[in-house]
Amino acid sequence: MADVPKPEKIRCDACPVMCYIAEGKIGACDRYANHSGDLVRLDPLTVIQAGGQTVKFLGEVADAQDWDGDIIQGNRPFVTAVGAGTTYPDYKPAPFIVSQIVEDVDMVTVVTEGIFSYCGVKVKIDTDRHIGHESAIVRVDGEAIGHVMTSEYGSKMLSLGGVEHLTGGSKKEGRVTCDALLRLCNREPVEMTVDDGATVVVQAGHAPVVDGKREKLMRVGCGSAAIGMFAKQWAPHVDEVIVVDDHITGVLSEHEAGKQLSVPATGIKIKGRRSTPGRYFQVAEPGTGWGGTNVQDPLSILKPADPKVAWPGLRLLFISTTGEQYAYFKLDDDLKPVSAKISAPLLNSAHRVAENCEPSLCSVLFMGGAGGSLRAGVTENPVRLTKSVKDALTYVSCGGAQAYVWPGGGITVMADVMDMPTMSFGYVPTPALVAPIEFTLRRSDYSALGGHMDHIQPVEEVLNSGIRTVGMTAGQPDPNAPSNYRWSAKTRDRK
């Protein structure tokens, strides 16, 4: 019987787009291709090799039964979902369901790439600079992709992506949002603008660039906190210190730290709304100047000095919360500040403030909800997987990285992209991100939740195919380790 010729185009069912792919061509997602009539995944399956080797103790003999120097079973692999493929349509079991013995426990890892329409990133930008007001729209190429969230201590927070931007707006908004999320998650730089705010270049693991200036330091604390930390170093060398900050500007002589050190009142008055002694709100508008304010000249926040208290020759130090800006003045006979040469101890203190600041950094956390097709690829009864995750019987990871599972309903996970292998993310033009997710649990528990037991493969079989091997990120917990799980009394003694 003659061979039936294969069609010129084949249909890919890895996502809802259902591309027809010609011979030698790739699909719209750049992840699947037609290779001689076969649908092939272009990226290799990624395996994490856990642990590391050490030297044997002196006196160890070269016996096969001896300890081999591997202090944490470093040869044990973990099959990630990076390059694994997806479960679309819903009825498919996960692309890889892998078993191996770990610490005498029969473990199963269910490996799948999820198509996440309900996904986004949370971005933490360590900087004092003002980038935009809370709830301001964040745009890429003019399209709204997210918004500014509440600032945290020394950091600006962004919420980017989400289903409303991916599918709830125009086609261009969805495409731009998906592209920006993909680049952020794959640790590439993305330039974005904030309405009525700054232009920011964000790249995971790198310092942010705000309005063309690369940031260096994250503030040591607010103005009040800086007073508390450095008052003892300042008090012997200056009469008054003002730490300029967008949130809480500190004044040494009024602050409790100054009182404890017997710093006398100086009559120096600043603008703003007084909170508790030595702490002032709203001394200036937010901006990219001193301490995240729009202040370029620190004297602009001063009121006239109280002539009943201030004195000629009074020594006054202004400093920002990162120590990057400082200025030293003395009051003249008219009680006006006049620029003066800063003393060596005060200059050293400015350097000490900067020394205690952490480097400015962008952190990108992928966040997504595991939906129907993904869970159906794990078990025939998807709600049991949800319950197993919430009961801590199932460990969730993303590309081998530890994932935080949010409380409440569903399986909503968050993972640091810096802990994941490079290029862990893909996309489909629906648009949606394709992200790796793994579920690891005991074989007995996998059976109990209705898992696809007939599709389990020993890890050795999976490793025989084309794979990419990467090392485990330093400090990451081993996804395979049974110690990750909280066993109930009913399951604690299972093997």
Q: How distant, in Å, are the alpha carbons of 24, 38, 114, 458 from that of 20?
A: 12, 12, 21, 33
pLDDT on residue 89: 67
CA distance 102 to 462: 17
Q: Is the per-residue pLDDT at 473 higher than 50?
A: yes
Summarize pLDDT for 376-411 with one digit per residue, the tens: 889 988 899 999 999 999 999 999 999 999 999 899
Q: What is the pTM of this model?
A: 0.86
pLDDT on residue 7: 63
Q: How many Cα neighbours within 13 Å face the side chain of 73?
A: 13
Summarize pLDDT for 247-305 with one digit per residue, the tens: 999 999 999 999 999 999 999 999 999 999 999 999 999 999 999 999 999 999 999 99
Per the prediction, the chain carries an average pLDDT of 88
Q: Is the per-residue pLDDT at 495 higher than 80?
A: no
pLDDT on residue 489: 36
Contact 432, 117 (CB under 8 A): yes
Domain ranges of the chain: 77-118+371-484, 119-214, 223-355
pLDDT on residue 494: 41
Summarize pLDDT for 141-193 with one digit per residue, the tens: 999 999 999 999 889 999 999 999 999 999 999 999 999 999 999 999 999 99
Axis-axis angle for helices 344-355, 223-234 (nearest 10): 140
Summarize pLDDT for 13-70 with one digit per residue, the tens: 777 778 888 888 888 877 788 888 888 877 788 888 765 433 334 444 444 344 444 4
